[in-house]
A = this chain, B = another copy of it.
Amino acid sequence: MNKALRIAHILRNTSAFQGKDVVVQGWVRTRRDSKAGISFLEVNDGSCLTNLQVVLERDRPNLAALVERLTTGSSVEVRGTLTPSPGKRQSVELLARDILLYGWTDPARYPLQKKRHSFEFLRTIAHLRPRTNTLGAVARIRNRLSYALHTFFQEEGFFYVHTPIITTSDCEGAGDVFRVTTLNPTELEHANDESLYAQDFFHKPTFLTVSGQLQAEIYALALGKVYTFGPTFRAENSNTSRHLAEFWMVEPEMAFADLDDDLALAQRCLQYVVSDLLEHSWDDLQFFARFVEPGLLESLKAVKEQPFEVISYTEAVNLLKKSKEPFNFPAEWGSDLQSEHERYLTEKAFRRPVAVINFPRDLKPFYMRVNDDGKTVAAMDVLVPRVGEIIGGSQREERRDMLLEQMNRKGISLESYAWYLELREYGSAPHCGFGLGLERFVQFVTGLGNIREVIPFPRTPGHADF
């Protein structure tokens, strides 16, 4: 029964379909009944933002009764002829000959009305929100962005590797991880001690991964160039518009490469994906430029055309100190850059993506390569306007002695990471990589301020519905 043309396909090829018989299947967005016995339906099938206008003559046999039931949200199949439209808002319309109502929607109960709903409300009906213009456009852009990322890395010769989700290690040495267990906490009878794990599925404490990097390093040191693309987790109890408990990351890792190669890869990646979106998601991007972020298209074109501004952390701190900006947190060498600092650098100082490199050693995780100054590591944070950090990466410490020193200094268990140390013992090589947050990227290209709007089913403290 799946014989319909997609509306996106029809609208991209209107001259080919004009005067032709076509079938579309989709959902009624609105219906307008004119006095002249004509009804107009706006039908959307999700393939694109634009609705197809369907024209119905109500006086045709059996049609008058049916038309009454073509309510907002109802699903229909329409057969008819595609013709030029006399209307101003569309170039073509579908003169309906047959119409089939699959699923009627009771207008008195349907939560999506013909008005603007708040994002907060839409989140409570996450099973219906992709039927709105905004969330539908987000879904299509997220799809295209994901595929462009895959295509970029494939064309660059990277192999896609599935690093584990359930892990016994905790990449950053940070505390906020989710536990994975088959023990039922409400049925534990006694003995709240380590012996419990004998009954657990993996016989030891296991967690949801916070990053696939360390395992990606394994594959980079065998296949040369690899990337991950998968979900990652943080059990951080913070209810902000910037944090999710579950989000998606892309983490390339390449052998025989240093921080310069890493920077070059990140730049090619951003430029490739943004170019791809400007070509393939133009209508959806325009929608966001019109209703969400007025300067959106310009800022995307700038990313496509301009190289990153690369400055060291030390230079960045000096620049922030010299600026006259009234920061809430004054910039200080040795402290993390705050969101306000990142935005100043990329939105005011340089007005383009900025890569800050060579951060103080004590600010960054144990696996980053220590620079010759002994004080900084070969790290990079790529900042973009509005969003701030979109990519974080580094050259990895490939020298076993120095890695040991870093691990001891930061209290990392040598036993748990014995295999990671062995990578430095058997055919070690300079290597580097980065993590790109998919949701941050979608925020950047849509202008949406709240990260909960750019993932289908956001997981935040107290929220795991649907």
Contacts and interface: CB of A to CB of B under 8 A. Distances in A.
B1 A257 contact: yes
Nearest to A256: B25
B466 A223 contact: no
A215 B139 contact: no
A256 B100 CA distance: 12
A388 to B, nearest CB: 22
A235 interface: yes
A405 interface: no
Interface string A222-266: 111100001101010100000001101000001111101100000
Contacts of A131: 221-222, 427
Given A147-B150, A166-B246, A179-B184, A426 B464 contact: no
Contacts of A35: none
Interface in A338-395: none
Interface string A261-282: 1000000000000000000000
B428 A102 contact: yes
A192 B182 contact: no
A3 to B, nearest CB: 9
Interface in A7-47: 8-9, 25-28, 45-47
Interface stretch (A55-63, A287-295, A310-318, A417-425): A417-425
A127 B219 CA distance: 8
Interface in A114-173: 126-128, 130-131, 136, 139-140, 142-143, 146-147, 150, 154, 157, 159-169
B182 A181 contact: no
A28 B162 CA distance: 26
Contacts of A27: 222, 427
Interface residues of A, number: 116
A166 B464 contact: yes
Interface string A43-74: 00111000000000000000000000000011
A415 interface: no
Given A136-B222, A165-B165, A181-B185, A426 B231 contact: no
Contacts of A159: 46, 139-140, 143
B430 A224 contact: no
B164 A143 contact: no
A233 B427 CA distance: 34
B1 A245 contact: no
B261 A1 contact: yes
Given A162-B231, A192-B188, A47 B130 contact: no
A462 B203 contact: yes
Interface of A: 1-2, 4, 6, 8-9, 25-28, 45-47, 73-75, 77, 102-103, 105-106, 109-110, 126-128, 130-131, 136, 139-140, 142-143, 146-147, 150, 154, 157, 159-169, 178-189, 192-194, 196, 201-204, 206, 208, 215, 218-219, 221-225, 230-231, 233, 235, 237, 245-246, 248, 254-258, 260-261, 398, 419-420, 422-430, 455-457, 459, 461-466
